[in-house]
């Protein structure tokens, strides 16, 4: 819509930016290396962050970073996942059909993981996203995958990712102790600070093929303040600001435009 106005080759604030062009904040870089460590040592890791702070993006980047001849990554994300559907979801990704019984599906999955480890010499990484929405029984089943070998040697790496409430309303409570005690690595993605917000916006503009500063310093202050540094919200505000500035034939987005757009064009608010 506004790409031509600003001499862009692509739309900057989109969701499907190629993994190598994502903005890597220091926290994201740290989390990525922790997840890679968890994958190589076959550990249990948990990633938490507020909504829109980049968990799924981190997981996409992580998945992409693992060499396919050395790792097999399975990814499930479904809030209504029951233990049976968890196995079905995982087996589906291995091209296998889950039988009717949960126990059979579990055995089949464990057998297959063993084959991948022993015959293909690949390490298995199993990711469960949106874990804050998942019932305790399914989370327990997920962590059972770890101790198929009488808790002695881990057969795979497990990554649980979810919104901050995964800790606040689940894992920190006693009834989740069996899961919590097995967590080896904990990663948190905080909101971006002011400087990171600016670099984040620059990286999106760079991706779009635009290397000039389109947002004034005060506009960036305002975007950071109103988004509280949440990437998804920054994307929405910037996209609306560029649309508005393009329509108004403005060459720059200033703080007045940011405030105007938030007040008039974002009726759903900045949440
Ligand atoms: N490091 C990043 N570089 C580029 N874009 C990012 C980055 N982190 C997040 N985003 C963008 O912000 C948006 C939200 O990110 P994402 O979906 O990963 O958040 P989330 O933490 O998984 O949110 P939810 O809890 O709602 O699932 C996406 O559109 C994504 O493209
Ligand atoms: Mg997500």
pLDDT tens digits for 92-114? 999 998 887 888 888 899 999 99
| Ligand 1 atom at minimum distance from 22 CA | 3
Tell me what pLDDT residue 229 has: 98
Give the domain-ending residue among 122, 154, 189. 189
Give the domain-ending residue among 189, 224, 243. 189
Mean pLDDT of 1-22: 93
Q: What is the pTM of this model?
A: 0.94
Question: Per residue in 83-105, is it b (16+ CB within 10 Å) or e — as a string?
Answer: bbbbbbbbbeebebebeeebeeb
SS3 30: helix
CB atoms within 10 A of CB 195: 11
In a domain, 40, yes or no: yes
Distance CA 227, CA 235 (A): 9
Segments forming the whole domain that contains residue 244: 193-264
- Residue 7: which pLDDT band, with cuts at 50, 70 and 90? very high
Nearest CA to ligand 1 atom 12: 232
Residue 198 token pair: 């600016």
Distance CA 76, CA 170 (A): 19
Q: What is the pLDDT of residues 74-85, one digit of tens each?
A: 999 987 888 888
Q: What is the mean pLDDT of the chain?
A: 93
Alpha carbon of 170 to ligand 2 centroid (Å): 18
In a domain, 211, yes or no: yes
Q: Which ligand is nearest to the CA of 200?
A: 1
Considering the domain architecture, whether residues 147 and 202 belong to the same structural domain is answered as no
Q: What does the DSSP 8-state code read for residue 3? A: T
In a domain, 7, yes or no: no
- The strand ranges marked E within the chain are 44-49, 71-76, 123-128, 156-163, 185-189
Residue 151 has pLDDT above 80, yes or no: no
Mean pLDDT of 135-157: 81
Alpha carbon of 100 to ligand 1 centroid (Å): 36
């Amino acid at each position: 819509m506004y790409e031509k106005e600003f001499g862009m080759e692509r739309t900057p604030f989109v969701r499907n930016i190629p993994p190598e062009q994502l903005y890597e904040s220091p926290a994201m870089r740290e989390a990525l290396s922790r997840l890679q460590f968890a994958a190589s040592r076959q550990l249990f890791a948990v990633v938490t962050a507020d909504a829109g702070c980049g968990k799924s993006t981190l997981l996409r980047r992580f998945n992409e970073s693992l060499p396919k001849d050395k790792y097999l990554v399975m990814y499930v994300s479904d809030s209504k996942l029951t233990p049976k559907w968890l196995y079905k979801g995982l087996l589906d990704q291995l091209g296998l059909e889950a039988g009717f019984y949960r126990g059979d599906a579990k055995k089949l999955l464990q057998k297959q993981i063993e084959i991948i480890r022993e015959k293909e010499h690949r390490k298995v990484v199993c990711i469960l996203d949106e874990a804050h929405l998942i019932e305790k029984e399914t989370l327990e089943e997920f962590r059972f995958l770890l101790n198929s070998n009488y808790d002695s040697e881990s057969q795979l790496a497990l990554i649980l990712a979810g919104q901050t409430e995964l800790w606040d309303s689940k894992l920190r409570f006693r009834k989740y102790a069996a899961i919590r005690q097995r967590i080896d690595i904990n990663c948190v993605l905080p909101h971006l600070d002011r400087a990171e917000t600016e670099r984040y916006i620059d990286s999106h503009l760079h991706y779009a093929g635009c290397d000039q500063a389109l947002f004034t310093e005060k506009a960036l202050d305002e975007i950071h303040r109103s988004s509280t540094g949440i990437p998804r919200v920054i994307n929405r505000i910037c996209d609306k600001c560029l649309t508005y500035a393009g329509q108004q034939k403005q060459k720059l987005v200033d703080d007045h435009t940011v405030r105007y757009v938030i007040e008039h064009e974002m009726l759903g608010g900045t949440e």
